[in-house]
Amino acid sequence: EKNEMNTETLDRLEALLAKANILPLEYKPDEYDDWGTVRAGKIGLHGKRYPLCQTRQPYASDEAKAEHRKSGTDPYEASARLLVEALNALPALLSIARRAADVEAIRAVTAKASSEWTGPNPAEFATGVAFVTKPHFAATAVSRYVMGETT
């Protein structure tokens, strides 16, 4: 089933994120963690970080696993790190999506940027460097707003 990105999806993800209260996550933070272990980064009861999950890749052959045991590497590291990085980035990604969905704010940013644009810098003509156009100036302002660099 296709998961559309819309305000209802953002609402659902934000609610789940708040309810789960598991971030930040860490990949194998403890010395004796098994392959693919992901732990909640917060210290819980008894001063421990509790395992959240353990990733697996069912297509890893027995020979590949034996090689990983021999070399002391984790065959599930990539999937575990992807999970950790994606979930730790989720609050920022949700913020970006909210800003991108805020049509009125983007309209205001565009109007402000358009009113602030003073035209191409004459010095750019002498250097042969392509000058910034008004649409480019406004698009840059919108991008900076969406990415949270400006308000």
Average pLDDT of 54-65? 85
Average pLDDT of 9-14? 94
Helix (H) or strand (E) holding 25: strand 25-27
Closest CA to 40 of 73, 89, 87, 94: 87
In one-letter notation, the amino acid at residue 134 is K
Asked if residue 46 has pLDDT above 70, the reply is yes
Asked if residue 93 has pLDDT above 90, the reply is yes
- CB–CB of 21/50 below 8 Å? no
pTM recorded for the entire structure? 0.77
| Residue 26 to residue 147: CA distance in whole angstroms | 25
C-alpha atoms less than 13 angstroms from C-alpha of 137 in its C-beta half-sphere: 16
Asked if residue 148 has pLDDT above 80, the reply is yes
Closest CA to 83 of 27, 2, 32: 27
How many residues are there in the chain? 151
Residue 127 has a CB neighbour count (10 Å cut-off) of: 9
Q: What's the angle, vertex CA 28, arms to CA 48 and CA 73, rounded to 5? A: 150
Q: How high is the pLDDT of residue 127? A: 66
Asked if residue 79 has pLDDT above 90, the reply is yes
Which one is predicted more confidently, 48 or 121? 48
Which one is predicted more confidently, 131 or 68? 68
